[in-house]
Structure 1
Amino acid sequence: MKDFQMLNYIKNTIENMPSDWLNLTTHRLDIYNEKLAKTQFIAQFENLYKSEDSSTESLNQLPTAYDYIRLGHPLSSVLEWTIAKLNGLNAENVISFSSESIPVLAVLRTNLLEQRATRIVYTNNLPKRLNVELLKSVYNYNFEILQVEDIKNIEAFDGSTILISKHQTVTANLQNDAIDFYVNLFEDLGSVLLISDKAKTSFISDIQHVRRRETIAMTPSNCLVALKAYTNETTFSPQQLNTATHKAKVKSIINEINATSGEALVASSGLSIQYAIMMGLIDNAQKEHTGKAIKFVVPPNCYGGTNDQARRVAACLDNVEIVDLPVDGDNDMVNSVEKVLTQLAKEDAIPYIIAEIPTNPRVEVPDLEQLNAALSKVRQTPNGTTAIAPVFILDQTFCPNVQFLGDDGILSNIKTIAYVSGSKFPSGGKCTAGYAVANAKAEYLIQPIARHLELCDNEATALQYQILATQMPSMLTRIADAYKNTRAFVNYIHEVLPDAKINFVSEELAAEGFTPSVFSLDLPTKGNTDEERETYKRALNLRLINLMITEVPTESKYCVSYGQLKGCYWTIPATSTQGTTKEGDKDYIARVAVSPDLDLEKHKAVFLDFVESL
């Protein structure tokens, strides 16, 4: 096929695409093969292209693209495939980003770890957010910068050469063998990175992992704008939204919900805001406590993205280290905090503690008075000086309604930054944006965090702000209604399957405001050995999930999210949210997320069928 025939196929594809391609942020695990996560969608899409089949029915049968919308989704995959075709590349050599900065940072990170030199070349202007001083002093990246008038004159370089250029229209620009990476900036949409065939193949996986952990792919709506421009051969024209109004409304709601008054930051995803928090704190520590070791204290079994990202940051910086914080199951968060902070005081280190309350996936809440005492205790270093007080970085995605940060909040006397994944309750699953806010004692840290959010170009998109402005006013009501359904479902499971262990908040904790709508289910098992019992339980988890998604197909889904507007989501943390967690810390249990709007009686009936089949 000629290029115009390919573009015509893409035009038909976007006209016929399933609505979920544009609107869904949760991925289906029942049509997902983890080993083929980065290739299966494109391989089958290529087959449709060859057979000239762009029907909605066929497109709807394609498997899940990647494993998280952050890493990629159907429209980003199609956009990358299209640009690859236009440039004679393999689809995996093209990677789209919502950020204009992160593709550059991704190459710099790989080259730092492999001790390879990097040259950044640009024609007109560097992206205004690309803060060269911060990249060198805080991220530890090494590179040189070169401005040129004509890219054809760029000479060979012993290392990697990145060309940054801005585009308003379709372009095919692989014009010089001396260039390894082309970062094409599409204003208000994001960027697309083209990797030369001669670049080391390890870059592809490394860069995809940066996109997975520190930013997001170009959003579905922006990918659609780009694809329409490609097929119509026009300039990119994003939808014009009232972003200033939406932004002001969202930040006002965040402060109202959290009982805070300082600046709220909104990022393209929960991990985007977490990355800005980590790098902002490192930046501040370099100025406030020059030369001291920085310790990020992280639960080893927490959400895999948090765990993995923290370790990835530490891998790049000699003075940053990860310290484990066992928090649930047989471990108590308060005791762990006490032990860790006592040890770090002996080392005269800077303690930054990242923790989820309630914990994930076991939905446990520590004794908050005791936690406050452990965090606020004044400790001494070996030389008799006062140890550096911790900053508590609280992931309160499960319960964003709890006011930890207000002047009367339980953590008001501790430097605390709270953040929330916006793909959960804030948007009800309609976008990935996440937010962070600090209490009065930690408010001064928002400025360095904001600086790194800007550097990474990871602020929420215009459409994300609009979605949050629409959804957040109903968030507290949705949380309350979802909790009622969850409590009713949990009570029913207790009644019909009393041998199951359910991890959920107590009635007493709920009365204090901890009203999550997610619980974990440890099903009763059998067998003569631990291995037999574990094997049986894992099979039983899948049997339950498959029954639910089969019998209640319009509401029950096999996916990892929660806080959704409708239905019931099922997953197994060990094989989804804890994907990069160490095997011994994984939880092979069923995690169930209940919404404010579902057919509870139908779910009860199907669960009873499951129990009677045991």
Structure 2
Amino acid sequence: MAFKKLKLTIEQVLAKLPNDWLNLTTHRLDIYNEALAKTEFLEHFEELYKNNSITKDTLAQLPTAYDYIRLGHPLSSILEWALAKNYDLPQEHVIAFSSKTMGIFAILRENSIRGKSTQIIYQNEELPNKLNPQLIKKVYNYDVNFTSVDDREAILNFEGSTIYLSQNEDLKEIELQPNIDFYISTLDDLGSLVFVNQSHSDYVPAIQHVRRRESIAMTPQNSYKALQTLIDQKPEAVDHRQKQKDLTNVRSLINSITDTKTKPLLGSCGLSVQYAIMMGLIHESRERYPEKSIKIIVPPNCYGGTNDQARRVAASQEGVDIEDLPVDGDNDMVKSTDTVLNKVAKLDAVPIIIAEIPTNPRVEVPNLNNLKEALSKNRLTSSGNKAVAPIFILDQTFCPDYNFLGEQQLLADVKTISYVSGSKFPSGGKCTAGYLVSNAKASYLIDYIETNLNLCDNTATALQLHYLAEQLPSMKTRIKNAYKNTRQFVNFINKVLPEAGINFVSEEVSNQGFTPSVFSLDLPTKGATPEEREAYKRELNLKLINKMITEIPSESKYCVSYGQLKGCYWTIPATSTQGTTKEEDKDYIARVSVSPELDLEKHQLVFKEFVNQEIKA
């Protein structure tokens, strides 16, 4: 009887869900409370379930679940809720991944930090083909044993954690057992579901955080299919021939855009790609320089996901450490790069350096000739031997059309790997996928990166590839048009509010080919002390954003995205993209991203009203 009502509820959700639940990649911050995120969404949904009041309108009015679909969204949350209810688990103890293996890696990482062993039990004498026990032990240094059993009752008590792997099992008939700490059900083409034993609730945040920073939740479209499977509906199968066709097309487009010949790799999101890069380079370094330590050099205030991921990788990997690379504000990226690489050379360590160009949120571009010199300089260790040359990981999401990697470009002689978040310009906001490509100098690293991307099963889904195949051909034109709108908006703000601080590329820099469509805004402030001035500025930022999204609700959104097809997105990086950055490194400024299609005149009019009402009144 209980499942009968649950099935009816899921049928109603699938029949009446808002279109946005399948088609939006970013949250609606106008109905978003970050502190409550998933709990608030499911509490309200539970009321609809109890009252049999599920309609398209009531679903549309639910608070937002999580932040990006990377961490979770309405359909993945309902899938987790339904399974938790079916198995009498707390709702947060069911965690849906797009990857079939990242749930395993999340548990292994947490146990590595805790100093615990892990045993992985699997059926049918065969591990899922994505898993490679030797690599997991050799590259990730995880203490793990793999055991094949046909009888779950035969699982013995183990001094550590027990993971049970099951493939393509009926989601309604899973047999959870007290002596299984983590039950993971993998689903072909959809991802996996992690069921956490109630005695291990302290693992839940760590598993969810890996999903947020190194992978993504099961996508909305695949969560929809999993819900169909749960209630015995037959979901539409993946057309693997179309997927391969789209993959071939997308790779060709990326090579053309980036002026490269190496094979591009496609991941489920930008951070999935970055994680594959990081672990691929650690993999290669452990083989080539087994006695040397590895230094990940990263700006302390760059995009929060990049910062957080790098530091968590270092925390879980013996012999891997972080070196800060100050790049924004009063710091110069080139000088910082030279200083830090000199330090790492003296330590005789392997330098892996990560940077965004332009930077986020200050939208700064370093002198590229000087940066090339700093990265190319021959350095010596403290004993006078030749130091290991750096590998440069470049996040060029803000300007994915800029040619960094071609054979005649400045960075041609620097081992460089570039990656882009596909949720931005490449897909126009239609999916979260990310991609990477290398220059010729770093081409030998692609196999290492691909090995780790596949090991983590973080490759792009069929639908993500299809969106990229549709959107990439128009990307350069959209970037050009969005930049024109952004330049006009910036010029207008300079005119009506010249005392504001605006961080945007100069005309000189844009003439070099850097044409971003995002800028940051420091509104004029007042107060007797620095604390009062900072508080006043923060309040003014929010007033501006609230006015814009209230008066232009069809176009102005409170959202962290960038590269969208239409409208204008506003955010405060310190409370969104820099969420895990150290407080002293956060930037409480407004960040504005402008699309190729919007009512610019209306935005300028509303901004001018704000200036007259709040600043010049």
**TM-score category by the smaller chain?**
over 0.9
Deviation, structure 1 residue 115: 1.4
Deviation, structure 1 residue 168: 5.2
Q: Contact 2:525 / 2:537 at 8 angstroms: preserved in 1?
A: yes
1:240 alignment partner in structure 2: 239
How do 1:373-392 residues align onto structure 2 when only pairs under 5 Å count? 373-392=373-392
1:341 alignment partner in structure 2: 341
Deviation, structure 1 residue 240: 2.2
2:132 alignment partner in structure 1: 131
Deviation, structure 1 residue 469: 0.3
| Alignment deviations for residues 573-592 of structure 1 (CA, whole Å, 9 cap, x no partner) | 00000000000100000000
Determine the C-alpha separation between the residues in 1 that align with 2:155 and 2:237.
33
Q: 1:235 to 1:57 in 2, by over 3 A?
A: closer
1:107 alignment partner in structure 2: 107
2:18 alignment partner in structure 1: 18
Determine the C-alpha separation between the residues in 1 that align with 2:145 and 2:26.
40
1:71 alignment partner in structure 2: 71
What letter matches 1:612 in structure 2?
N
Name the SS of the counterpart of 1:57 in structure 2: helix
Q: Does 1:212 align with 2:201?
A: no
Determine the C-alpha separation between the residues in 2 that align with 1:19 and 1:28.
14
Deviation, structure 1 residue 176: 2.4
| Alignment deviations for residues 241-296 of structure 1 (CA, whole Å, 9 cap, x no partner) | 50111000100011100000011000000000000000000000011112101001
How do 1:400-549 residues align onto structure 2 when only pairs under 5 Å count? 400-549=400-549
How do 1:19-34 residues align onto structure 2 when only pairs under 5 Å count? 19-34=19-34
Q: Contact 2:165 / 2:186 at 8 angstroms: preserved in 1?
A: yes
Q: Does 1:162 align with 2:130?
A: no
Deviation, structure 1 residue 85: 1.5
Deviation, structure 1 residue 171: 2.8
Q: Contact 2:176 / 2:183 at 8 angstroms: preserved in 1?
A: no
Deviation, structure 1 residue 28: 1.8
Determine the C-alpha separation between the residues in 1 that align with 2:71 and 2:603.
32
Deviation, structure 1 residue 138: 1.0
How do 1:49-60 residues align onto structure 2 when only pairs under 5 Å count? 49-60=49-60
What letter matches 2:288 in structure 1?
E
Larger mean Cα displacement after TM superposition, 566-575 or 165-174: 165-174
Q: Contact 1:561 / 1:569 at 8 angstroms: preserved in 2?
A: yes
2:283 alignment partner in structure 1: 283
Name the SS of the counterpart of 2:323 in structure 1: strand
Name the SS of the counterpart of 1:201 in structure 2: helix
Aligned residues: 612
Name the SS of the counterpart of 1:580 in structure 2: coil
Deviation, structure 1 residue 126: 1.3
Identity value in percent: 59
Determine the C-alpha separation between the residues in 2 that align with 1:288 and 1:64.
47
Deviation, structure 1 residue 172: 2.9
Determine the C-alpha separation between the residues in 1 that align with 2:159 and 2:379.
50
What letter matches 2:46 in structure 1?
E
1:273 alignment partner in structure 2: 273
Deviation, structure 1 residue 237: 4.5
Larger mean Cα displacement after TM superposition, 87-96 or 477-486: 87-96
2:195 alignment partner in structure 1: 194
1:84 alignment partner in structure 2: 84
Gaps of 5+ in 2: none
Deviation, structure 1 residue 55: 0.9
Name the SS of the counterpart of 1:613 in structure 2: helix
| Alignment deviations for residues 351-401 of structure 1 (CA, whole Å, 9 cap, x no partner) | 111000000000000000000111101111122211111111000000001
Determine the C-alpha separation between the residues in 1 that align with 2:31 and 2:409.
44
| Alignment deviations for residues 9-55 of structure 1 (CA, whole Å, 9 cap, x no partner) | 11101211111100000112222112112311111111111111111
Q: Contact 2:189 / 2:238 at 8 angstroms: preserved in 1?
A: no
Determine the C-alpha separation between the residues in 2 that align with 1:482 and 1:236.
38
Deviation, structure 1 residue 158: 2.4
Determine the C-alpha separation between the residues in 2 that align with 1:175 and 1:260.
49
Q: Contact 1:222 / 1:238 at 8 angstroms: preserved in 2?
A: no
The alignment yields a C-alpha RMSD, in angstroms, of 1.1
Q: Contact 1:168 / 1:187 at 8 angstroms: preserved in 2?
A: no
Q: Contact 2:326 / 2:332 at 8 angstroms: preserved in 1?
A: yes
Determine the C-alpha separation between the residues in 2 that align with 1:237 and 1:613.
54
Name the SS of the counterpart of 1:453 in structure 2: helix
Q: Contact 1:87 / 1:174 at 8 angstroms: preserved in 2?
A: no
1:144 alignment partner in structure 2: 145
Larger mean Cα displacement after TM superposition, 595-604 or 49-58: 49-58
2:183 alignment partner in structure 1: 182
What letter matches 2:448 in structure 1?
P
| Alignment deviations for residues 414-460 of structure 1 (CA, whole Å, 9 cap, x no partner) | 00000000000000000000000000100000110000000000000
1:153 alignment partner in structure 2: 154
Name the SS of the counterpart of 1:165 in structure 2: strand
Deviation, structure 1 residue 234: 4.3
Determine the C-alpha separation between the residues in 1 that align with 2:350 and 2:29.
40
1:257 alignment partner in structure 2: 257
Q: Does 1:7 align with 2:7?
A: yes
Q: Contact 1:525 / 1:536 at 8 angstroms: preserved in 2?
A: yes
So what's the TM-score if we normalise by structure 2? 0.98
Q: Contact 1:189 / 1:238 at 8 angstroms: preserved in 2?
A: no
What letter matches 1:584 in structure 2?
E
Name the SS of the counterpart of 2:563 in structure 1: coil
Name the SS of the counterpart of 1:38 in structure 2: helix
Determine the C-alpha separation between the residues in 2 that align with 1:180 and 1:509.
55
What letter matches 2:582 in structure 1?
K
Determine the C-alpha separation between the residues in 2 that align with 1:348 and 1:30.
50
Q: Contact 1:101 / 1:457 at 8 angstroms: preserved in 2?
A: yes
Name the SS of the counterpart of 2:412 in structure 1: coil
Determine the C-alpha separation between the residues in 1 that align with 2:233 and 2:355.
47
Deviation, structure 1 residue 235: 5.5
What letter matches 1:66 in structure 2?
Y
Determine the C-alpha separation between the residues in 1 that align with 2:142 and 2:234.
34
Name the SS of the counterpart of 2:198 in structure 1: coil
Determine the C-alpha separation between the residues in 2 that align with 1:239 and 1:53.
33
What letter matches 1:427 in structure 2?
S
Gaps of 5+ in 1: none
Deviation, structure 1 residue 146: 1.4
Determine the C-alpha separation between the residues in 1 that align with 2:32 and 2:103.
26
Determine the C-alpha separation between the residues in 2 that align with 1:195 and 1:499.
54
Q: Contact 1:87 / 1:172 at 8 angstroms: preserved in 2?
A: no
Determine the C-alpha separation between the residues in 1 that align with 2:81 and 2:511.
52
Larger mean Cα displacement after TM superposition, 57-66 or 263-272: 57-66
Determine the C-alpha separation between the residues in 2 that align with 1:85 and 1:582.
37
Determine the C-alpha separation between the residues in 2 that align with 1:379 and 1:118.
42
Determine the C-alpha separation between the residues in 2 that align with 1:17 and 1:246.
28
Q: Does 1:560 align with 2:560?
A: yes
Determine the C-alpha separation between the residues in 2 that align with 1:392 and 1:587.
25
Q: Contact 2:133 / 2:146 at 8 angstroms: preserved in 1?
A: no
What letter matches 1:458 in structure 2?
N
Name the SS of the counterpart of 2:519 in structure 1: strand
Deviation, structure 1 residue 197: 1.4
Q: Contact 2:228 / 2:234 at 8 angstroms: preserved in 1?
A: no
